[in-house]
A and B are shown apart, each in its own frame.
Chain A
Amino acid sequence: MTPRRSNARMIQEWVTAYSFLLPNILGLMIFVFIPILYAFYVSLHDWNALSPKVYVGFQNYVTLISDEQWWHSVTRTLLFSVVYVPLLFCLALLSALLVNGLRGKSVGVVRTMFLLPFAVTSVISAIIVMFLLDPRNGLANQLLSLVGIGKQQFLGSPTQAIFCVILTLLWINIGYNMTIFLSAIKEIPIDYFEAAHIDGATRFQSFRYITFPLLRETNTFILIVTTIASFQIFDHIIVMTKGGPMNSTEVSVLYIFKEAFQMLNMGYSSALAFVLFLIVFAFSMIQLKFFSSKD
């Protein structure tokens, strides 16, 4: 298709291509790729940022296996993921079906209402929820007292805090995921539903046998992306609970953060981070495999 090019043209094309790529190659190298290699290098050392690094081999990785606090942060992260991911998935899908059932102008209005929390930044959403869940006079406690339930501690309670964080994340992320579901549903040819309708299928049946199977790619995409994100939850935790009360919300990234920037255990923190990287990497590979097999 392209005409035969002279050598000079070819060289010119190479030079243009490399110069177009150079800024990103350098940037990704210095600010993403080298840091992960550096994380591994630091993880092989004992280092408190002040005295020189001491090479300790894989000692940091051995230490973490018997570190109860690390296991605690891992189980907290898993609890968070196990509750949050399926809930977000189901609620976003349900919302998409709901909005898909609307006709006319109301579609836009309702979609805007669902999506608006997405425009609230994580810190502001944390502030709003902290305000509504204020243990003394917050709106939630006032409403509960109206129905005769005593004051709850919410973010101050070791059993409730993590669920309050989950609720906050659901609130701001449902609309985003709903939008992805909705655009996938809209791509399903309407004939399928009409045919099913003529055959006497109920609404539930056409969802069960048409919509859901045809959303397979979107389902997988959302599940994997949400799972990976759930392993890395941090902003809301550090603003709303700082890992408390009684370490009940001390998730993996917060533990890594504290070890690095508060305890100054650079080597150990890097080992923890590298383990998290391997886990996320494994999930990303699954995602890549899935999406490269489709086209």
Chain B
Amino acid sequence: MNRFIIPTVSIIVGVAMIFPIYMLFIGSLRSETHVFDIQLWPTEFEFANFVEAVTSSHLLRSIMNSLIVSTSVTVIAMLFHAMSGYALARFQFPGKNVIFAWMLSTLMIPFAVIMLPLYLITKNLGMTNSFAGLIIPAIFNAYGIFLFRQFYREFPKELEEAAYIEGLSQAGTFFRIALPLSMPIIAPLTIGFFLANWNSYIWPLIITQKETMWVIQVQLANLVGGGYVTPWNIVLAAAVIAALPTFLLFFFMQRYLVEGIKMTGIK
């Protein structure tokens, strides 16, 4: 009997999980008067909604901003975190344990708690309404360092020792040998970092007041919570456009995403 019950229940729950996303897509194709219709298959396809969504707000601009921010944060974070994780896993130097413990201790500081002082500091550094303000504070995160350290501790030493004996410096060994072989950790972390930064809302909201500097999440939130009322079909069309990059990433990189999630849980 289980052979039927488990798959049936799984599919029903699974369909329930994706149903709201389906409704988002369907709603984005309907006209303003039919947006709430209950039919499961659209009888009309208002592709004009997407044109309207793009022209009625700075949607493309904010998507570009998000792409620039998420990509920069991810690339720089991967490099810095890999370097630190490697140093902590492989090098002997005074203060190593203190530095590592101190880095880990920063994980206990919730973002919500430091948002005001962080704003004041970044403002004093002249970084409001700028890419620097959106990007630089988002790079530093002890969790990435921790995961890279774990990875390099398990990483076989032989290749690096060979390179070292051949006369490559330790820095050279890292950049030429270890880093290029680190894809098993870089791939899932890249997906995780990119998604997290694409999702980021509070910090961009605080640090950017100029609409030209808004990221996509701030732009979208403004469509539903702003002073004027945007029709639902346009809001949904904008949300679909904004969701496309993450959905594409999700479908093509799902394996790495799952790897990354497992890593978080195993710790």
Contact surface of A with B, Cβ cutoff 8 Å = 2, 10, 12-14, 16-21, 23-25, 27-28, 30-36, 38-39, 42, 95, 98-99, 101-102, 106, 109-117, 119-132, 134, 137-139, 142-143, 171, 174-176, 179-181, 183-184, 203, 218, 221-222, 228, 231-232, 234-235, 238-239, 242, 253, 256-257, 260-261, 266, 269-270, 273-274, 276-277, 280-281, 284-285, 291
Contact = CB atoms under 8 A, between A and B. Distances in A.
Contact of B14 (A39, A114, A122, A184): A114
B10 A27 contact: no
B113 A276 contact: yes
Given A121-B243, A127-B235, A129-B20, A256 B217 contact: no
A36 B117 contact: yes
B3 to A, nearest CB: 9
Given A128-B20, A239-B225, A122 B265 contact: no
Interface in B107-122: 107-118, 120-122
B83 interface: yes
B29 to A, nearest CB: 14
Interface in B221-267: 221, 223-225, 232, 235-236, 239, 242-243, 246-247, 249-250, 254, 257-258, 261-262, 264-267
Q: How many residues of B sit at the interface, in one of the four size bands?
A: 35 or more
15 contacts: A20-B91, A20-B171, A21-B88, A24-B80, A28-B106, A31-B121, A110-B10, A113-B15, A117-B20, A120-B21, A127-B224, A142-B36, A266-B120, A277-B109, A280-B110
B13 interface: yes
Contacts of A270: 116-117
Interface of B: 2, 6-7, 9-11, 13-15, 17-18, 20-21, 23-24, 27, 36, 38, 80-81, 83-84, 86-88, 91-94, 96, 99, 102-103, 106-118, 120-122, 136-137, 139-140, 142, 145, 169-171, 174, 195, 198-199, 201-202, 205-206, 217, 220-221, 223-225, 232, 235-236, 239, 242-243, 246-247, 249-250, 254, 257-258, 261-262, 264-267
